[in-house]
Amino acid sequence: MTATSQHVCTFRLDGHLYGFDLAMVREVHPPAPWVVVPKAPPEVHGLVNLRGRIHLILDLRQMLNLKSLAPSADHLFILFREVAGESFGIVVDAIGEILSIDGKDLEWKETERNPKSSKLIDGVLTHGEEILTLLRANALLGALSHNRVKQGAGS
Amino acid sequence: MEDAALFEEFRIEAQEHLTRVADGLVRLERCEGAVLIEEVNGLFRALHSIKGSAGFLGLRNVELVAHAAETLLDRVRKGQQQVSTSLIDLLLQVNDRLIALVEDLEASNSADVSSILDRLKQALESNPSAIPEAPKPESTHQALPTLIQPAGQDEKDPGSHHHLLLDPDRGRTIRIPVAVADRLMTLASELVLVRNQALKRLEPRDAAERELVQRLSTVTSDIQRTVTSTRMQPVGTLFQRFPRVVREISRQLGKTIDLVLQGTEVELDKGVIERLADPLTHLIRNACDHGIESPAARLKAGKQAMGTVKLIALHEGSLIHVIVEDDGGGIDPAKVGRKAVERGLLAEDERASMTASRLQSLILRPGFSTAEVVTDLSGRGVGLDVVQSNIEAIGGSLQIESELGQGTKFHLRLPLTLAIIPCLVVEAGEHRLCVPQRDIKELVLLDGTAKARLEMGHDRQVFRLRDQLIPVVALAELLGSPVVESDAPRFLAVVRGGSGCLGLVIDAIRNPEEIVVKPLHAALESLDIFAGSTVMGDGQVSLILDMEGVAREAGIGHASAAVVAQPLAKVEEVTLVLLFEDGAGARYAIPLDAIRRVVRFKAADVQYVTGRAGIRLPDGIWTMRRLEDVVAGVAPVPIPDAGYLLLPKATSGDLLGLVLAELIDTALAPKVLQPVIPAQVGVMGVAEVCDKLTLFLDPAVLLGSVEGGR
């Protein structure tokens, strides 16, 4: 559901412009050393300790099927409010401006070919020359694949 | 909304009162005179306060029941009613009913309280002098004048029912959600972390700055300590339920038992206290049922008819000791031994070699119950083994000390807190992980030598730990790290997991660390190889391994557990040996049945004749021989200033004793030994005993037959 007017926190990932409803975003955090979680779904970037609370950081590239580049050197974490799920965030390449958009601007997406990422996409709109994809923060944790991927050869 | 908050306040308040009432009622039986009146007054006030508040909130049923009980107590106070067992029973039931009503306040008004009210009414009518008046709102006021206490007593104003929310007790405690306390704890740990990192960076330029840094540091530590203490609760909150438990049991069993509580002020983590409740209840019941004898048997044994069960809590270092002690009949090791053999828990020859205390501790084995008669109290199939595993699950241990005819002591050692557990930090591949110390049985250095290498058993790596075959899991591979061939020595952590033992290959051992366990993020809950996560001293997150999960992940389940169990199930050929050291760290064993006795000597006792050392003992002069005299290839060690002389059972005429520098212990050791290569005169073989490589001496050396073997 999209309100007639909302604020959107935009960010960049692999050169694309994305945005989350600002009401879902708690803060943008500078990078912190993270710990890889073995056996976790590939969308899990790792765990970080931010002010004594352990946060799960997701790799949105994996979730959106983007080219899986390593995060940029000056990457940032976007952390979400509790309404979106328990202490978690995502890695982004760069943070953009806060936009105020009108519900009318939304050009609703075509059915995505990838059912996994389509659940995450709220809508698409144009912002100047660019395409801004609005994402649903509260759908992120639910989109984690729980079929564990076995890595490496075991013998 | 406001009503709900008021109800909640009342519920908490009433629960506290009712706990005190239950406690006081049990005490009532034992006191008389002024003390009795004092106790009754306390109970009266508690019920009165509940009644007042309940009336104020329109909780009619709670008010009615509390009022009737209060009336009954009032008559006790005025000497119109005798304190009898049946009266206390009734009041305890009233208390139970009130607890149930308070538990669900919303439904309390529609609950049926007629039966309990009828019984209260009967009790009141049994004495025809007075019939309780119906609880009118005014009645509470009428009761007031008699309640006023002399000044200086630590009691509430009995009129406080109008000021429920201004209860003076509330000034001394506040209630906060556990989540807030946990968050505070987290923040305090984080503050310590930041402090530590800051201290490394900051270089105070002068005394003033140094003092500032110092103060910051002290205050930070104080905050952490204080915040940690918010999770602590006195064990008294748990102990106070037991007088009633004991009272009920002793009546059912026809015994008189006094429960003595000590150290109720000792504080423990709330989590530990909660998980201690069941095991402790079991131990107390056990002490009353199996420990304390019947009054007749006690009198016959020259004891008081009344048995005593002591429940003691002590704080010592980082541990809390909880002791359940009875002065009953004690545990008969012979009887336990027989039972164990009957149940197939023990082999007959094994029994013979066991000490009394080891036999006694057999009652902790699964499938053991010595109760001759299965009573309704204990012996319901839940054995002491469950108690033991419950205690171990919270990182504690359970020990039994018992003297036949004198009593039994169950000794619990518990960690102060659940939230902090000692862990070993290990590395596997690129991962750093925590292994809880309580899961680790031992660590083996895999240096590729014959004794310490992995073997392939069918399709799985195994490790031969003494005579046990344990499945091995390469942790790095399990976690998906690329396999790196390396000659660097690795470690094998032998851990509990998958209904048996499990060997975990790790690349490096970092350091032991006390960690604060935090649950794993909810989205990762399906990863059962991890028990949780933690923030390490360097501020980074680390994952805590769950051994059961690791075993499952590695496919080590019951099938291979059977393989593990098989060599174990066969009763090992064991023999009792004396362990000693030569003074240079090497360990030796000699079968106990080859030894007559061991005597202690001092340098002054030793006499030298033509280069040989001797010692005069009542049965003659014994020649003292050193280890190097009887075993080939042993570095010479001079006769110590004080040591032990081993006197063999058999002698070949000459009295030849063996000097032992240091006695270690006696232990069970395998009969089948591994040969020493190259063969060494005087040594039968080698085996691992008590986790140390031990050379087994040939008892023949004691006879002197291999004299000059070097």
Q: Is B556 helix (H, G, I), strand (E, B) or coil?
A: coil
Residues B19, B108 within the same domain: yes
pLDDT tens column, A33-79: 889 999 999 899 999 988 878 899 999 988 888 876 677 778 899 99
**Chain B: residue whose CA lies nearest to A55:** B521
**Whether residues B257 and B402 fall in one domain:** yes
Q: Which CATH number covers residue B642?
A: 2.40.50.180
Rounded-to-10 torsion of CA B54, B57, B59, B65:
10
Query: At residue B352, what are phi and psi to the nearest 5 degrees?
Result: -60, -30
Which residues form the domain of B643? Answer: 574-703
Mean pLDDT (chain B, rounded): 78
Answer whether CATH 2.40.50.180 is correct for domain A5-143.
Answer: yes
What is the tens place of the pLDDT at every residue in A117-129?
667 888 888 888 8
CA distance A49 to chain B (A): 6
* B518 interaction partners in chain A (CB closer than 8 Å): 54
Which positions in chain B touch A155 (Cβ < 8 Å)? 477
Best CA proximity match to A2, nearest among A100, A106, A98, A137: A106
**What residues of chain A, 126 to 145, have a C-beta less than 8 Å from chain B?**
141, 144
pLDDT above 90: residue B109: no
Q: Is the peptide bond before B333 cis (omega within 30 degrees of 0)?
A: no
End-to-end, the C-alpha distance of chain B in Å comes to 92
Would you call B587 helix, strand, or coil by DSSP?
Answer: strand
Instruction: Give the number of other Cβ atoms within 10 Å of residue B687's Cβ.
Output: 20
CA distances, B280 to each of A116, B34, B312, B323, B596 (Å): 51, 33, 11, 10, 45
Lowest mean pLDDT among B87-91, B340-344, B457-461, B638-642: B457-461
- In this structure, the answer to whether residues B110 and B18 fall within a common structural domain is yes
Distance of residue B229 Cα from the nearest chain A Cα, in angstroms: 19
Are B268 and B232 contacting, i.e. CB atoms less than 8 angstroms apart? yes
Say if CB B427 and CB B544 are below 8 A apart. no
Q: How far apart are CA B536 and CA B534, in angstroms?
A: 6
ipTM for the complex? 0.83
Contacts of B617 (CB under 8 A, 6+ apart): B599, B647
Shared domain for B238 and B301, answered yes or no, is yes
Residue ending a domain, among B517, B537, B569, is B569
pLDDT at B153 over 50: no
Does some domain include residue B82? yes
Measured between beta carbons, the chain B residues lying within 8 angstroms of A151 are: 480
Neighbours of B156 (CB within 10 A): 18
- In the block, tokens 């943008």 appear at A28
Residue A115, SS3 per DSSP: helix
Task: Quote the DSSP letter at residue A152.
Answer: S
Q: Which residues of B touch A154 (CB under 8 A)?
A: 477-478
**Cis geometry, peptide bond prior to residue B512 (ω within 30 degrees of 0):** no
CA-nearest residue of chain A to B543?
A37
- Asked if the model's pLDDT at residue B572 lies above 60, the reply is no
Q: At what angle do helices B60-77 and B33-56 cross, to 10 degrees?
A: 160
Gap between the Cα atoms of A127 and A105, Å rounded: 9
What's the token pair of residue B519?
């649950």
The domain that holds B188 is classified in CATH as 1.10.287
Exposed/middle/buried for A92, CB within 10 Å: 0-12, 13-18, 19+? buried
Pairs of residues, one from chain A and one from chain B, whose beta carbons lie less than 8 Å apart:
84
Is B253 in the same domain as B311?
A: yes
Q: At what angle do helices B114-125 and B85-103 cross, to 10 degrees?
A: 150
pLDDT at A103 over 70: no
User: To the nearest whole angstrom, how far is the Cα of A114 from the nearest Cα of chain B?
Assistant: 22
Select the more confidently predicted residue: B205 or B311: B311
Measure in Å the smallest separation between the Cα of A76 and chain B Cα atoms: 17
pLDDT single digits (tens) B275-284: 888 889 889 9
Assign B434 a pLDDT band (cuts: 50, 70, 90).
very high
> Domain check: are B565 and B585 in the same one?
no
Looking at the structure, do residues B110 and B19 belong to the same domain, yes or no?
yes
Least confident of B104-113, B126-135, B634-643: B126-135
Token code pair at residue B450? 């014959």
Show which of B415, B442, B470 is a domain's final residue.
B415
Give the whole-number percent of chain A exceeding pLDDT 90. Answer: 33
Cα–Cα distance between B121 and B693 in angstroms, integer? Answer: 77
Which residues from B are below 8 Å from A35, CB to CB? Answer: 432, 540-543
- pLDDT value of residue B318: 65
**Selection from A69, A89, A91 nearest residue A79 by Cα:** A89
Contact flag A34-B539 (C-beta cutoff 8 Å): no
